[in-house]
Homo-oligomer: A and B are copies of this chain.
Amino acid sequence: MSSLTPTARVILGLLATGAETGYEIKQITDVSTRFFWGASYGQIYPELRRLERAGLVRGRDQPRGNVRRRVYELTPEGRAALESWLREDDWVFDLRDEGLLRLFFSDLLDSETVLAQLRERAAWFSGVADHFRSIRPPIDEGSHMFAVWRYGVELMEWNADWYAGLAQSLTERGR
């Protein structure tokens, strides 16, 4: 069991890979880990201070002009906590999918409505896949980080195909 809070995990990881400020952590998560591990300002800033009190990060005020700015870096203890977490062998896997819940109860609905919804959902996943494809990260294609990007694209494609396939089979059955 990890002693790191959920948001601490992504913070330490991002500090290890070059992020410096809370603001930057938020920007990066929003275009990378967001779809499987989000973070909001309301979690990030308090967590950074908790981590500093716990000795896992060190912060220094480093304003840009008159814009106040606090940069953080991992301490050796923080780096150790990060690596220790990375080596753990249990993990959270949570899915919250309202579309699936609707489908679960959709036998209560007329089939035209359901069919329209399935097509809409297929289109939505397809659009998300396109979006993910468009934010391809400029990093080594052999890296694990790049593999996660591929996962995102492929998972969205798989979902788009699944819903399109179901809509298709319902259409054929309806004929």
Query: Is A151 interfacial (CB 8 A cutoff)?
Result: yes
Q: Is the CB of A100 within 8 A of B17?
A: no
A139-166 near B? 1/0 per residue, CB < 8 Å: 0001111011001001100100010001
Binding site for B on A (CB under 8 A): 6, 9-10, 13, 16-17, 32-33, 35-37, 82-83, 85-87, 89, 91-109, 113-114, 117, 120-121, 142-145, 147-148, 151, 154-155, 158, 162, 166, 173
Question: Could you tell me if A91 and B99 are in contact, using CB atoms closer than 8 angstroms?
Answer: yes
Taking a contact as CB atoms closer than 8 A, the residue among B6, B94, B108, B121 that contacts A95 in the complex is: B94
Cα A67 to Cα B175 with chains together (Å): 51
Taking a contact as CB atoms under 8 Å apart, the answer to whether A87 and B107 are in contact is: no
Q: For chain A, what secondary structure do more than half of its interface residues adopt (helix, strand, loop), or is it mixed? A: helix
Q: How far is the CB of A12 from chain B (nearest CB, A)?
A: 9
State the Cβ distance, A33 to closest chain B Cβ, in Å. 6
Q: How far is the CA of A1 from the CA of B133 in the complex (A)?
A: 29
> Which residues of B lie under 8 Å from residue A114 when comparing CB positions?
144
A-B contact pairs, 13 of them (CB 8 A): A9-B98, A13-B104, A16-B108, A36-B97, A36-B100, A37-B104, A89-B120, A91-B97, A92-B96, A93-B99, A104-B144, A114-B144, A154-B162
